[in-house]
């Protein structure tokens, strides 16, 4: 065989081998698909999920331009609905929802104040969630508080959980709307606060029994319908025994509430579950029991003289006992003005003596001031969960009875919202809040899902 023939034979042999390899591969692959359909389907599913995930990521990176009420704040590169960081639980808290009848009147969807506010918010491009109105009649009106919370909603929403102090019951239309001294607000308020990120309310206050046991039963019914947890006033002993715990990011946070009294309204015998009164022995036992089921315990204390800017000895004693019992965070309410923050129990328990009012119809300047408290419960390397990074952001209740709709706004933006003497009050409040400690951040604006926290911007 000459050289040319040898080359031809070699080429033919190579072609034969390649053909066999290809055929074998196809056949083997075909057989695998017949004998292992699940793996192929899983592979397709995985590719589909990867494609969908990539699509979602690309969608998340495309953000709409920043809108009111956040224009003027520093924008984050990425947006997320809540902090959601494993091993950390960000809790935010607001003060009293004190529903004077003047506030409810402005939430009447047929009122000029309400309709003007809705038109203004829409014109400014502010997103808010108005409730679906029923047809108002002479006997029954529709109430919607969403315009009052639209400017502050981004700051209450951005947390793993947010708690508010529901000072008064909310049972209309089953019980009439009323103000001082026996309060009752529209039940729609509860859906409104749920829509701005409130997850749980402390409902054990001096006004919980304003409409006696009936009011408690109705208010808890509406709270459950709104999807809100509650602590402090219950519908039964069985309800009272259920631990109030919210779990996020691997951390369990438990909640309890106590009040100094009920304005002289007697607690019905056999129905002591309708209100949790301050009783040091009882509180110590309940905190200890809850601590066995939760990583940290938050205790709301409704106590202290009204309109005093510093706590009295009784408040400090109760806070001391609560901290020693194991509370990690103590949230004070009732004075209707801001009182300072403090640390207890060798810096293990953070406390604020009074968060003042989140919304109310009171007219004095210092009763229109409030704030949002934030703490981060963080799991340490040894497994213990501790209070870290406490912050406080002042707020203000705009509006004047029968003149201008009430709205909750960031106090730092005193020029934007034309807060009277806002600059002077800002410095006064900072001095007051740091009376006992400056080991916390006094912030202008807390972080939102679109903007960064800051301590310098005044809009």
* Residue 324 token pair: 């020693």
For the chain, the straight-line distance linking the first and the last C-alpha, in angstroms and rounded, comes to 96
| Pairing, β 161-165 against β 88-97 | parallel
How confident is the chain (459 residues) per 10-residue block, as mean pLDDT? Answer: 43 41 38 36 40 43 84 92 92 98 96 94 92 73 97 98 98 97 98 98 98 98 98 98 98 98 97 98 98 98 98 98 98 98 97 98 96 98 97 97 94 97 97 98 97 97
- Whole-number pLDDT of residue 137: 67
Write down the domain spans for the chain. 88-442
Q: Which helix (H) or strand (E) holds 130?
A: none
* Residue 400 token pair: 């004047």
- Whole-number pLDDT of residue 7: 44
- Whole-number pLDDT of residue 135: 60
- Which residues 6+ apart lie within 8 Å of 22 measured at CB? none
DSSP state of 389: E
Cross-strand bridge partners of residue 363: none
Bond preceding residue 173 cis, omega within 30 of 0: yes
CA distance 214 to 447: 40
- Whole-number pLDDT of residue 335: 98
Task: Determine the distance from the C-alpha atom of residue 319 to the mean position of all C-alpha atoms in its chain, rounded to a whole number.
Answer: 23
Alpha helices in 292-440 (DSSP H): 313-325, 422-433
Cross-strand bridge partners of residue 137: none
CATH of domain 88-442: 3.60.21.10
Q: Closest by alpha carbon to 336, among 397, 277, 255?
A: 397
CA distance 442 to 316: 22
Q: Which helix (H) or strand (E) holds 203?
A: none
- What are the C-alpha distances in Å from 228 to residues 167, 198, 200, 445? 15, 8, 5, 26
- Whole-number pLDDT of residue 136: 64
259 burial (CB, 10 Å; 0-12 / 13-18 / 19+) is buried
Tell me how long the chain is. 459
């Amino acid at each position: 065989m000459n050289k040319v023939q040898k080359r031809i034979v070699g080429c033919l042999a190579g072609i034969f081998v390649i053909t066999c390899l290809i055929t074998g591969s196809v056949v083997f692959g075909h057989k695998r698909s017949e004998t292992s359909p699940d793996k192929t389907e899983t592979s397709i599913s995985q590719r589909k999920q990867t494609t969908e995930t990539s699509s979602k990521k690309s969608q998340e990176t495309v953000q709409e331009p920043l809108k009111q009420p956040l224009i003027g704040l520093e924008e984050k590169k990425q947006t997320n609905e809540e902090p959601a960081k494993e091993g950390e639980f960000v809790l935010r808290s607001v003060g009293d929802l004190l529903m004077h009848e003047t506030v409810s009147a402005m939430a009447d969807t047929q009122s000029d104040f309400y309709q003007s506010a809705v038109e203004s918010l829409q014109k400014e491009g502010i997103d808010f969630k108005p409730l679906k109105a029923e047809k108002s009649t002479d006997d029954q009106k529709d109430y919607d508080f969403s315009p009052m919370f639209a400017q502050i909603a981004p700051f209450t929403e951005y947390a793993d959980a947010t708690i508010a102090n529901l000072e008064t019951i909310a049972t209309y239309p089953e019980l009439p709307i009323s103000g001082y001294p026996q309060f009752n607000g529209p039940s729609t308020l509860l859906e409104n606060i749920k829509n701005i990120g409130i997850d749980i309310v402390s409902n054990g206050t001096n006004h919980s029994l304003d409409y006696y046991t009936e009011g408690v039963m109705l208010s808890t019914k509406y709270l459950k319908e709104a999807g809100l947890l509650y602590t402090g006033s219950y519908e039964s002993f069985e309800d009272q025994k259920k631990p109030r715990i919210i779990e996020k990011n691997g951390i369990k946070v438990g909640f309890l509430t106590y009040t100094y009294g009920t304005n002289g309204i007697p607690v019905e015998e056999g129905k002591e579950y309708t209100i949790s009164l301050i009783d040091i022995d009882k509180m110590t036992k309940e905190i200890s029991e809850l601590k066995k089921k939760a990583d940290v315990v938050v205790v709301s204390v409704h106590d202290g003289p009204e309109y005093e800017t510093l706590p009295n000895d009784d408040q400090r004693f109760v806070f001391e006992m609560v901290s020693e019992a194991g509370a990690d965070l103590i949230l004070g309410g009732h004075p209707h003005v801001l009182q300072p923050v403090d640390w207890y129990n060798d810096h293990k328990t953070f406390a604020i003596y009074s968060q003042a009012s989140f919304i109310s119809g009171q007219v004095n300047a210092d009763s229109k001031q409030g704030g949002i408290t934030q703490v981060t419960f963080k799991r340490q390397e040894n497994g213990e969960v501790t209070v870290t990074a406490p912050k406080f952001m002042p707020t203000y209740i705009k509006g004047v009875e029968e003149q201008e709709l009430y709205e909750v706004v960031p106090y730092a933006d005193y020029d934007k919202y034309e807060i009277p003497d806002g600059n002077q009050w800002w410095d006064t409040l900072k001095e007051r809040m740091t009376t006992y400690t400056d080991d916390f951040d006094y912030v202008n604006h807390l972080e939102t899902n679109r903007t960064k926290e800051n301590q310098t911007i005044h809009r």
